[in-house]
């Protein structure tokens, strides 16, 4: 280490030049660094969605979900969990892989299995592997509206013009369209009208399909369209191109159809041909009324700023060709929050930097010393940030938290070294010895090097247990610890190279200040009186320790046990909006339109938009009775009062379930979703009714177990469904079978795609379906006329039983099986005893064939994880104690310093209570700053005491006071400078960017008070009484001094 110091001093100009180069490169390149709100916290997962418009939840489960789960995906490599949800018209299967699995390999494994999906029943669209999305994937939500353009034409523009352009923007993973109305040519038929004209439904289907170039129906000739071919001549080959004469509803209506009597009719004579759209699975509500909403999502790790900029540029390029279309991009922009955070952080840095400058100017009383201190502090932080950039790190709130945690240690490195250099040069001049400034500074720097090594290792070891929190908390901790370690390493490197070089450049020819500095005079008066007095009264020091311990013990129970994870104060609010199951989409649209208008009228609200139901390949797996309302606040809005006003509007809709969160909060909760009760018994089976029955039986039995509190059976949401069951005997009388009846009914009510129409670069479906009057009511289903082989017709109600039943709105699978949970709390008895008794009770409960129940290990795993974390924390504590012993070469001194570390954090505990009582991850990280400074101060002071004793001086009040006074200036200055820099952050209100910094800064500022008091008053008072050294310890010099 001394060799490195000598080289840095010898090539001081080169070192300064390298430092300046790093600063220039960082300033040039850091503005392009990727910035996001939160780190990637979702596990490696792959989602498969299969659209099946018109199928009920049970049909989706039977025809799509079960075949894919059981036959294609079960037993996949690296698979940890497989979950699925079957809702009306959609199957969603989520595969969660083991931690550490390469996302690309996971997707490859799924793709290989899904190559066999052609064997699925053709009841919907082919399964789609949803593109990989970031944990907080939504970048922008864009509303499209127009007064002179229909919603169908607006959807055509969105689907075929805007979406492809946005998908080409680098970083964009997916663009979903809410309210998309796919343009269709619909041949709407009435069975009575068909019968009057002697035409059957099959005739209409065949005629319409054969009128097109290609059809997906295998029983029509258009299923094999063939190719045009070419004509070869002597010198030329001419391709043959057939032009489809059907381009709109009028031309399709003129297609001829032959009735039973051989008459030639036009399609318009037996059916109504119109341009319309498919049944909607969702819709969009904009502040100006109906419209279409595009949701732009990004890939994991994509730069939000670049994606946002690219999307805006793409929209601006498309705008000239979208005359009459209003493009509203204010509904939601993730970049708006990031810009606000950066703006607030810039204000904090400016105010904190000015306060730091004032403190350093008053304390150091020399522009040279202030310049060196500010340069080393700034260089350390910028170097750490630049290294993170070169490592490809995505900057977010947790990276910022790690850098903020290291601030105190960076400042300590700069100031303690600087004070030692100043004193060494002053003493060398005062002694009159002919020593070069280079040798003086090299000796002073090497004396600091050894304690820095031990203190740095202690500082790095302390937060390592956070890497084993597991789940989302671990994902949040890793980037914070990474930036923390990099900042500590950068600070150490700067302190060992740049700081001594700058000191030699600026201080070697600078005469020592003849008059003492103000801080030195104040510290002298304070310590000359208090430290000797306290050293003679150790009971007062013990009393101070007791008071600190009591304050911490009183504050800890009052600190709220909320999530460790930060909740960004985003100016865009997300309102979950849900009606009763079975609510129609028009009714949801009406209620939501009314609510959005009331929300838009609130003072402080800038924009409001909503989407209902879902969109194709979207991040929502819901029915049309669910939606989300997005409210963007003005920058000048009072957050709490505006939020209260929004909740007041929502209270006017008591039949609507609503919940206000921010988008990051919503995504974190979704990833963390799962049973959180102390006791969870999961019943697996196939029949929902029988599952419910067995779950209720287990509930009654579990309720009798001592210690079990309030057992409940999971409630299954249900909605009314028209169930059609064909009477085989009745159908056989008319020559029909069950498949004939189902196909006819589904064609009328859901529609049958008979072909496609190709128009320029767009593709539109041609569909045969019933007229609106034919499918307008439940009674219409009963009276629907079915064609018979004999040429007649029969009512559907005559060959089938139609009844209104209650069916699940959503069917979930866990590990490919249906399940229902029985949950309960545990109180008044040990968890292990309750779990063991319940497990035995579950095993003794008889179950039908293929049914079983099990007690989930969630509580046991959580406790095991907590024990593992506690064990790792204990291991870290032991390592710290060993490092202290290695530094001080004394178990008694190491134990004394070690015991003061938790007490140093007492002020931070009280401060956490004063700023709201939130024990967040930022607050936890703040304790490591306090711990690091306390460890460094304790090591340096105890080492000084030990060195004096090994030099033969008796340990008494005067000796301890003299040693403390020598270290008091740097310790106090570090505390003052760190507090000055962090104080503005501690005083932040509820503004974006303060979610992590505010509790962190409060804990650090509060902890600096107690750690400084302990270092300068309590430790010197206790040292003579509690740490007498044995003779064999005096024979070995301490590792520091």
3-state secondary structure labels for all residues of 406-443: CHHHHHHHHHHHHHHHHHHHHHHHHHCCCCCHHHHHHH
Contact of 147 with 324, CB cutoff 8 Å = yes
Q: Does domain 43-134 have CATH number 3.30.70.1430?
A: yes
With 0-12 CB in 10 A as exposed, 13-18 as middle and 19+ as buried, what is 403?
buried
724 vs 400, 420, 714, 746, 804, CA distance in Å?
A: 60, 89, 28, 11, 9
Please tell me the distance from the alpha carbon of residue 1040 to that of residue 940, in angstroms, as a whole number: 7
Which two structure tokens, joined as six digits, stand for 352?
């904190």
What is the C-alpha R_g of the chain? 37
Which tens digit of pLDDT belongs to each residue from 398-457? 898 889 888 888 998 888 777 777 777 777 776 666 667 777 776 666 665 566 677 788
Question: 784: closest CA among 139, 38, 192?
Answer: 192
Contact of 63 with 52, CB cutoff 8 Å = yes
With 0-12 CB in 10 A as exposed, 13-18 as middle and 19+ as buried, what is 739?
exposed
Task: Return the CATH number of the domain spanning residue range 191-224+242-270+720-808.
Answer: 3.30.2090.10
pLDDT at 951: 66
- Reduce the secondary structure of 594-637 to three states and give it as a string: HHHHHHHCCCCEEEEEEEEECCCCCCCCCCCCEEEEEEEECCCC
Equal fold, 1-32+365-512 vs 572-671: no
Please tell me the distance from the alpha carbon of residue 1018 to that of residue 543, in angstroms, as a whole number: 10
Say whether pTM exceeds 0.85: yes
Contact of 438 with 9, CB cutoff 8 Å = yes
**Domain 516-566+857-1041 class in CATH:** mainly alpha
Which two structure tokens, joined as six digits, stand for 530?
């208090």
pLDDT at 558: 55
The fold of the 679-717+811-855 domain, in CATH, is Alpha-Beta Plaits (3.30.70)
Element (H, E) at 773: none
389 vs 41, 171, 796, CA distance in Å?
A: 20, 18, 68
> What's phi and psi for 489, nearest 5 deg?
-65, -40
pLDDT at 288: 67
Element (H, E) at 840: helix 831-844
Residue spans of the chain under pLDDT 50 = 514, 1029-1032, 1034-1037, 1041
Please tell me the distance from the alpha carbon of residue 1 to that of residue 1010, in angstroms, as a whole number: 33
**Domain 572-671 class in CATH:** alpha beta
Locate the DSSP E strands across 75-201.
Answer: 79-87, 90-97, 128-129, 138-146, 172-178, 183-189
With 0-12 CB in 10 A as exposed, 13-18 as middle and 19+ as buried, what is 1031?
exposed
Residues sharing a CB contact under 8 Å with residue 567, sequence separation 6 or more, in sequence order: 662, 664, 665, 995
The fold of the 1-32+365-512 domain, in CATH, is Multidrug efflux transporter AcrB transmembrane fold (1.20.1640)
Helix-helix angle 407-431:921-950, to 10 degrees: 20
Taken in order 1020, 1024, 1029, 1031, the sign of the CA dihedral is positive
pLDDT at 1030: 41
Please tell me the distance from the alpha carbon of residue 477 to that of residue 869, in angstroms, as a whole number: 13
The domain locations on the chain are 1-32+365-512, 43-134, 191-224+242-270+720-808, 516-566+857-1041, 572-671, 679-717+811-855
Question: 718: closest CA among 689, 698, 695, 677?
Answer: 689
Question: 70: closest CA among 120, 3, 9, 7?
Answer: 120
Residues 1020/1025/1027/1029 CA torsion (nearest 10 deg): 120
């Amino acid at each position: 280490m001394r060799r490195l110091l000598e080289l840095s001093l010898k090539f001081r100009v080169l070192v300064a030049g390298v430092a300046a180069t790093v600063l220039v490169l960082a300033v040039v390149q850091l503005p392009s660094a990727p910035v996001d709100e939160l780190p990637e916290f979702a596990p490696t997962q792959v989602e498969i969605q299969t659209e099946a418009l018109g199928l009920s939840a049970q049909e989706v489960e039977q025809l799509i979900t079960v075949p894919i789960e059981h036959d294609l995906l079960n037993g996949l490599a690296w698979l940890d969990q497989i979950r699925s949800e079957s809702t009306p018209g959609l199957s969603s299967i989520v595969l969660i892989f083991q931690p550490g699995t390469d996302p690309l390999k996971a997707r490859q494994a799924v793709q290989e299995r899904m190559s066999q999906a052609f064997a699925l029943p053709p009841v919907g669209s082919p399964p789609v592997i949803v593109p990989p999305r970031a944990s907080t994937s939504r970048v922008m939500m864009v509303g499209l509206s127009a007064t002179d353009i229909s919603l169908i034409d607006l959807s055509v523009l969105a689907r075929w013009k805007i979406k492809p352009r946005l998908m080409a923007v680098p970083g964009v993973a997916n663009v979903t369209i809410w309210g998309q109305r796919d343009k269709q040519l619909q041949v709407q038929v009435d069975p009575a009208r068909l019968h009057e004209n002697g035409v059957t439904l099959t005739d209409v289907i065949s005629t319409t399909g054969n009128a097109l170039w290609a059809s997906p129906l295998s029983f029509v000739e258009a299923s094999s369209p063939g190719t045009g071919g070419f004509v070869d001549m002597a010198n030329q080959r001419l391709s043959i191109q057939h032009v489809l004469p059907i381009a709109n509803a009028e031309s399709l209506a003129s297609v001829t159809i032959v009735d039973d009597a051989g008459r030639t009719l036009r399609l318009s004579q037996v059916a109504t041909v119109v341009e319309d759209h498919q049944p909607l699975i969702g819709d969009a509500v904009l502040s100006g009324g109906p419209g279409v909403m595009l949701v732009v999502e990004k890939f994991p790790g994509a730069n939000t700023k670049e994606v946002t900029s690219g999307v805006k540029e793409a929209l601006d390029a498309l705008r000239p060709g979208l005359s009459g279309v209003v493009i509203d991009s204010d509904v939601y922009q993730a970049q708006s929050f990031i810009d606000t955070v950066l703006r607030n952080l810039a204000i904090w840095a400016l105010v904190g930097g000015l306060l730091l400058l004032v403190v350093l100017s008053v304390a150091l009383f020399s522009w040279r010393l202030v310049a060196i201190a500010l340069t080393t502090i700034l260089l350390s932080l910028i170097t750490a940030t630049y290294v993170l950039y070169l490592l490809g790190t995505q900057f977010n709130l947790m990276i910022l938290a790690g850098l903020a945690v290291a601030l105190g240690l960076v400042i300590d490195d700069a100031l303690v070294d600087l004070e030692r250099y100043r004193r060494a040069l002053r003493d060398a001049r005062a002694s009159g010895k002919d020593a070069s400034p280079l040798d003086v500074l090299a000796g002073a720097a090497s004396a600091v090097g050894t304690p820095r090594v031990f203190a740095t290792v202690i500082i790095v070891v302390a937060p390592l247990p956070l890497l084993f929190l597991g789940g989302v908390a671990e994902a949040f901790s890793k980037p914070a610890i990474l930036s923390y370690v990099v900042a500590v390493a950068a600070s150490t490197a700067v302190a060992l190279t740049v700081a001594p070089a700058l000191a030699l450049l600026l201080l070697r020819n600078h005469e020592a200040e003849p008059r003492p500095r103000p801080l030195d005079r104040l510290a002298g008066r304070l310590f000359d009186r208090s430290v000797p007095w306290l050293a003679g009264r150790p009971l007062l020091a013990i009393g101070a320790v007791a008071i600190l311990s009591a304050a911490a013990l009183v504050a800890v129970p009052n600190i709220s046990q909320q999530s460790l994870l930060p909740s960004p104060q985003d100016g865009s609010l997300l309102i979950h909006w849900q009606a009763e199951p079975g609510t129609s989409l028009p009714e949801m649209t009406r209620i939501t339109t009314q609510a959005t208008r009331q929300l838009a009228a609130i003072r402080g609200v800038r924009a409001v938009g909503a989407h209902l139901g879902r969109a194709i390949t979207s991040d929502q797996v819901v029915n049309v009775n669910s939606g989300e309302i997005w409210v963007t606040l003005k920058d000048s809005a009072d957050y709490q009062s505006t939020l209260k006003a929004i909740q007041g509007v929502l209270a006017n809709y008591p039949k609507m379930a609503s919940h206000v969160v921010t988008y990051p909060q919503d995504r974190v909760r979704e990833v963390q979703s799962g049973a959180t009760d102390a006791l969870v018994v999961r019943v697996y089976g196939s029949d929902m009714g029988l599952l419910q029955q067995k779950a209720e039986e287990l509930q009654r039995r579990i309720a009798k177990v001592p210690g079990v509190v309030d057992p409940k059976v999971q409630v299954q949401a249900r909605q009314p469904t028209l169930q059609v069951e064909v009477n085989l005997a009745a159908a056989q009388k008319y020559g029909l079978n069950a498949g004939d009846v189902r196909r006819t009914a589904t064609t009328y009510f859901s529609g049958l795609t008979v072909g496609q129409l190709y128009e320029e670069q767009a593709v539109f479906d041609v569909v045969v379906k019933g007229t609106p009057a034919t499918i307008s009511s439940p009674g219409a289903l009963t009276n629907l006329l079915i064609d018979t082989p004999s040429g007649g017709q029969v009512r559907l109600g005559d060959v089938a039983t139609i009844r209104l039943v209650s069916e699940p709105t959503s069917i979930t699978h866990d590990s490919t099986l249906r399940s229902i949970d029985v949950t309960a709390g545990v109180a008044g008895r040990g968890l292990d005893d309750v779990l063991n008794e319940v497990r035995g009770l579950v095993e003794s409960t008889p179950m039908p064939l293929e049914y079983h129940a099990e007690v989930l290990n969630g509580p046991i795993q959580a406790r095991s994880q907590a024990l593992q974390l506690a064990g790792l924390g204990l291991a870290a504590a032991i390592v710290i104690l060993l490092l202290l012993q290695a530094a001080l070469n004394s178990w008694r001194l190491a134990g004394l310093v070690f015991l003061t570390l938790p007490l140093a954090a007492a002020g931070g505990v009280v401060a956490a209570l004063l700023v709201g009582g939130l024990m967040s991850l930022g607050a936890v990280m703040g304790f490591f700053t306090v711990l690091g400074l306390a460890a460094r101060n304790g090591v340096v002071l105890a080492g000084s005491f030990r060195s004096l004793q090994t030099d033969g001086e008796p340990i008494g009040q005067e000796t301890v006071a003299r040693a403390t006074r020598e270290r008091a200036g740097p310790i106090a200055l570090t505390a003052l400078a760190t507090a000055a820099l962090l104080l503005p952050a501690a005083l932040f209100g509820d503004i974006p960017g303060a979610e992590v910094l505010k509790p962190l800064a409060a804990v650090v500022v509060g902890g600096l008070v107690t750690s400084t008091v302990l270092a300068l008053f309590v430790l010197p008072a206790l040292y003579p009484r509690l740490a007498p050294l044995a003779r064999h310890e005096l024979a070995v010099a301490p590792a520091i001094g």
